[in-house]
Structure 1
Amino acid sequence: MDLLQRASDFENRKWSGITTSDRVQASRDLKQLILEINEVYKNNRDQQLMEVMKRLTEIKRKVEKRLKGRLEV
Structure 2
Amino acid sequence: MDIIDKARLFEERKWNKLTTNDRIVASREVKALILEINELYKQTQDSTLMELMKRLTVLKKKLEKRLKGRPEI
Structure 2 length normalisation: TM-score?
0.92
Matching of residues 1-73 of structure 1 within 5 Å: 2-69=2-69
After the TM superposition, list the runs of 4 or more consecutive aligned residues in structure 1 that deviate by more than 2 angstroms.
Answer: none
DSSP-derived class of the 1:15 partner: coil
User: Unmatched 5+ residue regions in structure 2?
Assistant: none
Give 1:25's aligned amino acid.
V
CA distance in 2, matches of 1:17, 1:2: 28
Structure 1 length normalisation: TM-score?
0.92
**Per-residue CA distance 1:1-54 (angstroms, 9 max, x = gap):** 611111111110001101100000000000000000000000010000000000
Aligned length: 71
User: As a proportion of its length, which structure holds more helix?
Assistant: 1
Q: Quote how far apart the aligned CAs of 1:68 are.
A: 0.5
% identical aligned pairs: 62
Q: Quote how far apart the aligned CAs of 1:67 are.
A: 0.5
